[in-house]
């Protein structure tokens, strides 16, 4: 495997695990704000991010590469409300999309067709991730100032099941 592709994928494991930490921190915040539905949505999201990290982990091992786990920084623990949380979720997903696209570009440059095919799943996943985050953010924004609406949305998001 090309060294640049390997390094980028190995780093992405850290980014995916950070994403899980990030969403878990947001979930805890929502729990403390008595918004269990938002908390559950974010906790399911955290679990998904862990699965993404393991996909990369397994792929690298399947390619005969060594895993070099990197330190994960502490995520923020304070937020200004649900809109702030989902603004950060959406911005974070956009950042992850950029990281995945960067790995894909390295795979193209290295003519690593297997990695390009593997990364296609992540590219499609990021389209879905950004859509979901922007959708919740749009709903939260529309409901700003409506406690009843916010609590209805909280209930709706609490029905999210792991994929």
Kindly report which listed range (26-35, 128-137, 153-162) carries the lowest average pLDDT score. 153-162
Average pLDDT over residues 47-55: 98
Tokens at residue 87, please? Answer: 């603004």
Average pLDDT over residues 50-72: 97
Kindly report which listed range (25-29, 93-97, 158-162) carries the lowest average pLDDT score. 158-162
End-to-end CA distance of the chain: 31
Q: What is the pLDDT of residue 24?
A: 98
How far is 108 from 122, CA to CA, in rounded Å? 15
Q: Is the pTM of this model over 0.85?
A: yes
Read off the pLDDT of residues 110-125 as tens digits, 9 standing for 90 and up.
999 999 999 999 999 9
Domain CATH for 113: 1.20.1260.10
Does residue 49 belong to any structural domain of this protein? yes
Query: With 70 as the cut, is the pLDDT of residue 126 above it?
Result: yes
Does residue 79 belong to any structural domain of this protein? yes
How far is 156 from 94, CA to CA, in rounded Å? 24
Give the domain range for residue 80: 3-157
Q: Where are the alpha helices (DSSP H) in 33-81?
A: 36-62
Residue 30, sorted as left (phi over 0), alpha (psi -120 to 50) or beta, turns out to be alpha
Instruction: Name the percent of the chain lying above pLDDT 90.
Output: 92
Does residue 21 belong to any structural domain of this protein? yes
Average pLDDT over residues 129-149: 92
Q: What is the pLDDT of residue 146?
A: 80
Counting the structural domains of the chain, the total is: 1
- pLDDT bin (cut points 50, 70, 90) of residue 163 is low
Does residue 126 belong to any structural domain of this protein? yes
How far is 49 from 19, CA to CA, in rounded Å? 6
Mean residue pLDDT of the chain comes to 96
Does residue 162 belong to any structural domain of this protein? no
Q: What is the pLDDT of residue 144?
A: 85
Does residue 163 belong to any structural domain of this protein? no
């Amino acid at each position: 495997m090309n060294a640049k592709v390997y390094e980028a994928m190995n780093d992405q494991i850290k980014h995916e695990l950070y994403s899980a930490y990030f969403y878990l921190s947001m979930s805890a915040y929502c729990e403390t704000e008595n918004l269990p539905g938002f908390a559950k949505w974010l906790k399911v999201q955290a679990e998904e991010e862990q699965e993404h990290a393991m996909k990369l982990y397994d792929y690298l091992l399947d390619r005969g590469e060594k895993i070099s786990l990197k330190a994960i920084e502490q995520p923020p623990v304070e937020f200004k409300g649900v809109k702030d949380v989902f603004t950060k979720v959406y911005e974070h997903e956009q950042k992850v999309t950029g990281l995945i696209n960067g790995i894909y570009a390295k795979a193209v440059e290295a003519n690593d067709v297997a990695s390009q095919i593997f990364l296609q799943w992540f590219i499609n996943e990021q389209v879905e991730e950004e859509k979901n985050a922007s959708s919740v953010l749009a709903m939260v924004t529309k409901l700003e100032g409506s406690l009843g609406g916010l609590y209805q949305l909280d209930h709706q998001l609490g029905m999210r099941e792991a994929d």
